[in-house]
Structure 1
Amino acid sequence: MKRNRKYRDEPLGRLEVVKDFLPSPDELVLRDDGVKITISLSKRSVDFFKRHAARSKVPYQKMIR
């Protein structure tokens, strides 16, 4: 359920212009093209990645990559 917001015509206080901090499109690093492969890992290796991924709160597949 959405809350209804009531906006009032009040002063916002001291405002400050922030310099653009995002990099230009030329400075962005593009992803390399991926190549699909199949690998076999031991259960011990997969458990290792799962444990460390859980600590970092990321999927274990990304940890392997």
Structure 2
Amino acid sequence: MKEKIKFTDEPMGNVQVVSDFLPTPEELALKDETVKVTITLSKASVDFFKKEAKKYNTQYQKMIRRLLDEYTAHH
């Protein structure tokens, strides 16, 4: 930024305090308990997850794990 920001002392309007919803640093540092399994998936499914993982710069196994975790949490 080349322009300097000029702050003014003006009223902020209707301010609402929200409860803290972010996880604590301890919760972020802890790893989920995992179990290693062997599973055979269709090539189309693996190709899909690999393509999507590349888009979001993540691991495809992690995406599959999150999908399964979300499914089990809702059923």
Normalising by structure 2, report the TM-score: 0.44
Q: Whose helix proportion is higher, 1 or 2?
A: 2
Name which one, 1 or 2, has greater alpha-carbon Rg: 1
